[in-house]
Structure 1
């Protein structure tokens, strides 16, 4: 009888993080497995070298979240929540974002920028944010997407 292997702590931690910030990557099983294994190896090596468990955890987390600090998903949710709050009340931003991530116009906006881990703190972030806002306005208009008309909500 084959025993099912329990997912590792690092795999669960990564899957939770991806689910919240990179839902488009949830199906990339090889990435998740590789990254979780690398984190576990880092943790074990650190403990073997005499680091404390909390220190080893920090090192393993650095490996686990490498290149995953800037999220296109979070950026789109932020644009929708901040710029389209009246037209697209919650939970619409979270529901629309996966569709927007697949949209060619939105993808081409993201492709103009080098999205590094610290991109959110760069001056380029404001340009990206503004460009995404304009692109979403156009998508709503061109496609006649239903939005909530705030004037008729009395």
Structure 2
């Protein structure tokens, strides 16, 4: 039986998206179909923008906007920020990511009570969410430790 060595080639957009998802949306970082659709959309957006006269920089801006649409607000990144900002003296840096992954399913109900969108972190409701999450995380850490 012959085994073929196959390399998966990702474009600039694919590599950028993969890194972004790992850092901000780890639940989506292994979804190859999702990433392929976004990668194609960004490349097509860039191409179409160039064809209608956008500069390279303008076309790139539109492509990146298409690539990351709906991904700017990250529940995972919010939990990490809270752990680092509010519990940094109690939670060692090397445990933050792992703890955030454990906490995230427990915080879904809290997140569901807010209208999350790309610009949610800029809204007045963000502070309320941040406070509510901080309290829930504090209770979890008191009950379970780190």
Structure 2 length normalisation: TM-score? Answer: 0.89
Q: Which runs of 5+ in 2 are unaligned?
A: none
Aligned counterpart, 1:151: none
Q: Of 55, 64, 70, which residue of structure 2 is paired with 1:67? A: 70
Aligned length: 143
Q: Does 1:85 align with 2:88?
A: yes
CA apart distance, 1:141: 2.5
CA distance in 1, matches of 2:75, 2:125: 14
CA apart distance, 1:5: 5.3
Equivalences for residues 1-154 of structure 1 within 5 A = 4=7, 6-103=9-106, 106-142=107-143, 144-146=144-146
Q: Which runs of 5+ in 1 are unaligned?
A: 147-154
Structure 1 runs (4+) deviating above 6 angstroms are none
Structure 1 length normalisation: TM-score? Answer: 0.85
CA RMSD of aligned residues (A): 1.7
Aligned counterpart, 1:150: none
